[in-house]
Chain A
Amino acid sequence: MGKTFQKPKALADTLTHYCPGCTHGIAHRLVAEVIDELGIRGRTVGIAPVGCAVLMYNYFTFDFQEAAHGRAPAMATGIKRVRPDLMVFTYQGDGDLASIGMGEIVHAANRGEKFTTIFINNAVYGMTGGQMAPTTMPNQRTTTSPFGRKTSNTGMPIRVSEMLATLQTPSYITRQTLTRPKYVNRAKKAIKQAFTYQMEDRCFSLVELISTCPTNWGMTPLDAIKWAEEKMLPYFPLGTFKTPEDN
């Protein structure tokens, strides 16, 4: 009998730079498992963002491009338009996608570009050290909102999935989380669904993953999970906001 559990081929056999308790590792593994299961490693191009996942290409074993901050959807558009046979995904954090790259993601989604976006929402800028993001919760302390996010002058957190679901063209928009094994299983199903839609040549798909950042939240990994469930999930409800059947 062979091994029943092993590292996906799409994932490199190496240590990552992620902090203890960070959910990037889980999200990476889910993407890699899906790529293995669909047998698409040889025709996949990933696009790394600017943020904690900027070095993610070190952890995968297929072609990768590294974007400028927020521009991954434009690069994915460029690839997919000239090489529709490639499987393309962007992997972006909330600062990258929902702040500096908001224009790019909205227009790529609206044009129905045939790539997949994995959107890691952990309510904070990670790599630069914990600044306020567009998805930072009201009263959440960050290094640029040291007294807590004041919604009176910074607005409310942006619900990216709901916003993109108002567009007619995207085929699949869903929000999942990684805080419990059952949610991890659902997240994987969603990622596989998104890639499958892309294989079927359907329009844009996005999987938002509510994630934790114990380091920048100043919590233990367990407290971070609790915080994500208690504070984030009521405002960012899990669910699928758009499927191809809606069109």
Chain B
Amino acid sequence: MSKVLMKGNEAIAEAAVRAGCLNYFAYPITPQTEVAEYLSKRLTEVDGVFLQGESEVAVSYMIFGASACGERVFTTSSSPGVSLMSEGISYITAAQCPAVFVNIMRGGPGLGGILPSQADYFQSTKGGGHGDYRLLVMAPASVQEAVEMVMEAFSLAEKYRNPVMILGDGLIGQMMEPVEFPEHLKIEPSNKDDWATSGMDTRKSNKRNLVKTLYLNPEELNAHNLMLKAKYEKMEQDETRFENYNSKGDYKALIVSYGTMSRVCRTAIDRLKAEGLEVAMLRPQFLFPFPRKAIYEAAQKESCQAVFSIEMSMGQMMEDVDRSIAGQRPVYWYGKCGGEVPTPEEVMDEVKKVLNL
């Protein structure tokens, strides 16, 4: 199939349909509303379900109910909306239901702004809702990658019976880029008979299914949490994804950056190279699990004097970078968090300043 020029939000919507997800519940919020607008038309063509809920809180439970009866379902929102959905996300994770959430991040806290940001890093990777839970967090850096991640997200959600969060910044949602959709996506629905409340008549066994999150017995709740922990450890083992850039030579510094910010860093690295300064980048494609080991190893290079966490948030990811480096190299933060994306020049200046060049 040839490439088409598409806005990120619309491409995300189309990708979900092509991944076989025909059920979408959402509430309007800038800068991701185009997803709902697109699907309000598109889903009627494929006999799907489109519903605009009364709030993000309600939407998260519509997702829960639909997912708990075994159907593929997803929603999209932006930062303040995802805060509201976080209650439901905690329940869905506890109940081990698969679902896909997309957060096209805007600046916070509070109403913040409507321009791009990466300030929901903690919310996505560390919790957001209550209790010990993790989401598999995918962070696309282009519209094409957003499409591929959306299409893979449903399989991963079903594989782990866990919600997947696609964390894009406002630019990913709003910019237009050429994108190519895979012509045929092999959709292999997982067998949900042993847990989904799909109605007893639809299953071979006579056993009724129960989707619940209440464990009043402390030993049972502890065992439940240990089981969830083992699942997250399995994700860390099998689903760590990252990409290296300019990492072959003797680089003086290592940048860790993701999403739109990583593309700016890439330009900065190219320009620094032209000036004779080698800087490498490690771009986490998944933020949970976080590529701790890869970052540790990349920072070990003898020539590497400093590690940077460059992000559109106030050092949220830096905490994970710092933890990965384990004190082996100094870690510096650079970023902006008001909706402006740092320029390549600003990144270059910051790197040179720290390296005393």
The residues of A with any CB-CB pair to B shorter than 8 Å are: 41-45, 47-48, 54-55, 57, 61-68, 71, 74-79, 81-83, 85-86, 103-104, 107
Contact = CB atoms under 8 A, between A and B. Distances in A.
Contact of B51 (A76, A77, A104): A77
Interface stretch (B174-182, B207-215, B237-245, B247-255): B207-215
A51 to B, nearest CB: 12
Given A61-B208, A68-B87, A81-B23, A43 B65 contact: no
Contacts of A76: 65
B61 A64 contact: no
A13 to B, nearest CB: 14
B235 interface: no
Given A75-B65, A78-B66, A81-B23, A42 B200 contact: yes
Nearest to B59: A74
A86 B66 CA distance: 12
A65 B62 contact: no
B49 A81 contact: yes
A57 B63 contact: no
A45 B197 contact: yes
A75 B62 contact: yes
B212 A79 contact: no
Contacts of A45: 69, 197, 199
B48 to A, nearest CB: 9
Given A47-B65, A68-B88, 4 more contacts: A65-B212, A74-B62, A75-B64, A86-B198
B304 interface: no
Contact of B214 (A54, A61, A104, A107): A54
18 contacts: A47-B65, A57-B210, A63-B197, A64-B208, A65-B65, A68-B87, A68-B91, A77-B58, A78-B66, A78-B67, A78-B68, A79-B68, A81-B23, A81-B62, A82-B73, A103-B54, A104-B54, A107-B53
B39 to A, nearest CB: 14
A74 B67 CA distance: 12
B25 A43 contact: no
Interface string B11-32: 0000000000001010000000
B188 interface: no
B61 to A, nearest CB: 4
